[in-house]
Amino acid sequence: MSTLVMKFGGTSVGNAAAFLQVEEIISQQARDWDQVVAVVSAMSGVTDELTRGVVSAVSGDAETYHAVCNMLRERHTDIVNRLVRKADTRERLISAIDAQIDEYSSLCSSVHVLGEFTPRVMDSVVARGERLSARILAALLHQEGTRSEAVEATDLIVTDATFQNAVPIAQATRNRISARLVPLLAEGVLPVVAGFIAATQDGLTTTLGRGGSDYTAAIMGDALDADSVWIFTDVDGVMTADPRIVPDARVIPVISYTEVGELAYFGAKVLHPRTIRPVIERGIPLWVKNTFAPQTTGTRIVRNSTNTHGTVKAVTVINDLSMITVAGRGMIGVPGIAGRTFSAVARQGTSVLMISQSSSEQSICFVIPTTSAGAVVYTLEEEMASELARRDIDRIWAIDDIVIVTAIGAGMRGTPGISARIFGALGQAGINVIAIAQGSSECSISLAVDAAAAAAAVHQIHKEVIL
Ligand code: ASP
Ligand code: MG
C-alpha cells in the first residue's frame, strides 16, 4: 500500500490557471499511488488580507475590512465561475464563499466595536482562506474524475490552546486521522485537507502559525505513515542562493534537515524547519517541488546528509539589520556583562540574530533588526548606567545598514580551509567583514557586512565557494 501526501502553497492555488495545474498534478499522482492526500494553503495573499482587515478594524477603521471582503469574495467567486462547470456545484461553492466572508465581516465588525481582539478571535478570523481553497480544489478534482472530498482540518488535528501558534497533540491527532481520514482513503476517496487550521480538544479553531500548511502536511504524513511527502511551491526546490540576487543559483538536489534549518532561519523561506520535523524524524522522504514545473526533480530533504564533505551548499542574506556594540576595558574578566546585556535585550522584546565576542572581552557585539536598534541601545544604557558612569563600559552604539551573509553546508564540519575560501572570495572583491560567527555545529558561518556590499558578498561566495 503506497501513500503520498502532497501540499500546495498559496501561489500554487493563486489563480485559475494554477488551480488547474494543481488538479492535473494530483489527478496524475492519484493514478500512480494507492492513496493520496492533498493539503492546500489559502490562495496567495489571502491570509495577509484577512489579517489586514481585522487589524484595521480593531484600530477603528471601518472601511478596510469591507474592501477586503469584496476583494476576497470576488477572487474566490471568479475562480469558481471560471473553473466549475456544473451549476449546482458552483452554487454550493459560492454559498460557502459567501458564508465564510459574511462571518468574517461580522467578526470584523464586532472587533471594530469592541476595539480589541484576542489571539483566539484572530484564529477564527484567519482560518477561512484554507477552508475555501480546499473546497474549491476538491470540487475541481471531482469534476475532472478523481473522487475527492474536502475534509475539515478541525476534525483532524488536535492542538493545545496556544492560539496563533498551536502545538499539535500527537496521539489525539493520530486517533482523529485514523477515525476520519483512513476510512475515506479506504473507500478510494482523495481527501483535500485545509492546511494551517486545527482545533483544540474542545473544538475551538486554532492555527499552526504562519506557513503552517507545511506542518499540516507533515502531520498527515506522519500519522498515515506515508511513503513520501511532497511540498509544492513556486520555485524548483531549495536553491543555492536567492535567484533574484544570483541569477545562476541552482537547485540543491539533497539537503539535510539541519542545513535546511539554517537556511530557513537565515531567511530563505522555503520551509520552516519545525514544521517538517514529524516526517524527518520518521525517516519519510520529503521533497520540495515546483507546481509550475512538476517534471523537475526538486530537492530531497533527508535526516542526515552524507557525502557532503567539504561542500558549502547555499548562501543567504538577511537585510535591514543593525550591529550593537557594548565596549569597554572594565568589562575584561567581569562575569555577568554578557548575561545582563542579553537579558536587557530580551526584556525589550528583541530577538538577536548573531553574536560575537573576542577572547579579549573588550567588547560584545550582536546583530538585531534595525527597527529595534534605538530601543535596544536605550535599554542597554539604562541597564549599564553605573558601569557607564564608572567608565567600565565606554560606549554602547549601533551601526545601521548591516546585513548578515551566511554560508551553509554540513560539509564544513571538520573540513579545514572552508572559511579561508569564504574570506578569500570576499577579499578578492574588496569586501570588508565587520563581524563573524560560527556555531560549534559548523553547519554555517555568518558574516556581518555593510549593506552596500550585500549583493557582491553573496555573488562572490556563490561564485567562488559554491559553484
Ligand atoms: N495561509 C497560511 C499563511 O499564509 C498558511 C500557509 O500558507 O502555509 O501563513
Ligand atoms: Mg510556505
Q: How confident is the model at residue 382 (pLDDT cuts 50, 70, 90)?
A: very high
CATH number of the domain within which 23 lies: 3.40.1160.10
Cα-based torsion angle of the residue sequence 20, 21, 23, 24 in order, rounded to the nearest 10 degrees? 120
User: Quick one: average pLDDT of 134-142?
Assistant: 98
204 to 121, 248, 423: CA distances (angstroms)? 10, 47, 53
User: Quick one: average pLDDT of 83-89?
Assistant: 98
Q: How confident is the model at residue 306 (pLDDT cuts 50, 70, 90)?
A: low
User: Quick one: average pLDDT of 74-81?
Assistant: 98
The predicted model scores a pTM of: 0.86
- Asked whether residue 230 falls in the same domain as residue 372, the answer is no
Ligand 1 in contact with 232 (CB < 6 A)? no
> Is the predicted pLDDT of residue 10 greater than 80, yes or no?
yes
* Structural domain contains residue 151: yes
- What is d(CA 101, CA 98) in angstroms, rounded to the nearest whole number? 5
* Structural domain contains residue 267: no
How far is the centre of ligand 1, averaged over its atoms, from the C-alpha of 213 (Å)?
6
- Asked whether residue 80 falls in the same domain as residue 202, the answer is yes
**φ, ψ (nearest 5 deg) of residue 235:** -125, 165
Ligand number nearest CA of 233 is: 2
Ligand number nearest CA of 209 is: 1
How far is the centre of ligand 1, averaged over its atoms, from the C-alpha of 166 (Å)?
14
Q: Quick one: which of 401, 344, 355, 351 has its CA closest to 377?
A: 344
Q: How confident is the model at residue 412 (pLDDT cuts 50, 70, 90)?
A: confident
**φ, ψ (nearest 5 deg) of residue 285:** -60, 130
> Is the predicted pLDDT of residue 276 greater than 90, yes or no?
no
Report the residue among 41, 48, 126 best suited for mutation to probe ligand 1: largest number of ligand atoms under 8 A from its CB. 41
User: Quick one: average pLDDT of 283-304?
Assistant: 92
- What is d(CA 219, CA 276) in angstroms, rounded to the nearest whole number? 8
Please give the number of the atom of ligand 1 that sits closest to the Cα of 210.
Answer: 9
Ligand 1 in contact with 42 (CB < 6 A)? yes
Which residues hold their Cβ within 5 A of ligand 2, which is an ion? 9, 211
Ligand 1 in contact with 195 (CB < 6 A)? yes
* Structural domain contains residue 456: yes
pLDDT of the residue at 265: 63
| Structure confidence by residue, pLDDT tens digits, 322-355 | 999 999 998 888 889 999 999 999 999 999 999 9
- Asked whether residue 224 falls in the same domain as residue 342, the answer is no
pLDDT of the residue at 304: 80
User: Quick one: average pLDDT of 381-402?
Assistant: 96
User: Quick one: average pLDDT of 196-212?
Assistant: 96
- Asked whether residue 324 falls in the same domain as residue 226, the answer is no
* Structural domain contains residue 268: no
| DSSP category for residue 393 | S
Please give the number of the atom of ligand 1 that sits closest to the Cα of 42.
Answer: 1
Report the residue among 213, 215, 272 best suited for mutation to probe ligand 1: largest number of ligand atoms under 8 A from its CB. 213
Ligand 1 in contact with 298 (CB < 6 A)? no
Ligand 1 in contact with 212 (CB < 6 A)? yes
* Structural domain contains residue 58: yes
Q: Give the count of alpha carbons within 13 A of 379, CB side only.
A: 17
Ligand number nearest CA of 217 is: 1
Helix, coil or strand: residue 368? strand
- Asked whether residue 344 falls in the same domain as residue 210, the answer is no
- What is d(CA 158, CA 160) in angstroms, rounded to the nearest whole number? 7
* Structural domain contains residue 247: no
| Residues whose CB is less than 8 angstroms from the CB of residue 76 and which lie 6 or more positions away in sequence, other chains included | 43, 97, 132, 136
| Structure confidence by residue, pLDDT tens digits, 307-316 | 566 789 999 9
CATH number of the domain within which 387 lies: 3.30.2130.10
- Asked whether residue 159 falls in the same domain as residue 27, the answer is yes
- What is d(CA 72, CA 367) in angstroms, rounded to the nearest whole number? 39
Given 219, 234, 249, which residue is the final one in a domain? 234
Query: Greater confidence, 415 or 252?
Result: 252
User: Quick one: average pLDDT of 254-279?
Assistant: 77
pLDDT of the residue at 232: 96
- Asked whether residue 125 falls in the same domain as residue 32, the answer is yes
User: Quick one: average pLDDT of 15-24?
Assistant: 98
- Percent of the chain past pLDDT 70, that is, above it, reads 97
Domain that holds residue 365: 314-466
- Asked whether residue 221 falls in the same domain as residue 106, the answer is yes
Given 193, 216, 234, which residue is the final one in a domain? 234
> Is the predicted pLDDT of residue 454 greater than 60, yes or no?
yes
pLDDT of the residue at 419: 87
* Structural domain contains residue 270: no
Region class of 306: left (phi > 0), else alpha (psi between -120 and 50), else beta: beta
- Asked whether residue 214 falls in the same domain as residue 323, the answer is no
- Asked whether residue 196 falls in the same domain as residue 337, the answer is no
Q: How confident is the model at residue 275 (pLDDT cuts 50, 70, 90)?
A: confident
Ligand number nearest CA of 46 is: 1
- Asked whether residue 183 falls in the same domain as residue 65, the answer is yes
User: Quick one: average pLDDT of 229-252?
Assistant: 91
Given 201, 234, 267, which residue is the final one in a domain? 234
Nearest CA to ligand 1 atom 8: 211
The answer to whether 89 touches 95, Cβ cutoff 8 Å, is: no
How far is the centre of ligand 2, averaged over its atoms, from the C-alpha of 64 (Å)?
26
How far is the centre of ligand 1, averaged over its atoms, from the C-alpha of 336 (Å)?
41
| Structure confidence by residue, pLDDT tens digits, 158-170 | 999 999 999 999 9
- What is d(CA 184, CA 148) in angstroms, rounded to the nearest whole number? 9
> Is the predicted pLDDT of residue 458 greater than 70, yes or no?
yes
- How many domains does the chain fold into? 2
| Averaged confidence pLDDT in the chain | 93
Ligand number nearest CA of 133 is: 1
* Structural domain contains residue 343: yes
How far is the centre of ligand 2, averaged over its atoms, from the C-alpha of 213 (Å)?
7
List the helix and strand counts (H, then E) for the chain. 15, 17
Q: How confident is the model at residue 268 (pLDDT cuts 50, 70, 90)?
A: low
User: Quick one: average pLDDT of 94-98?
Assistant: 98
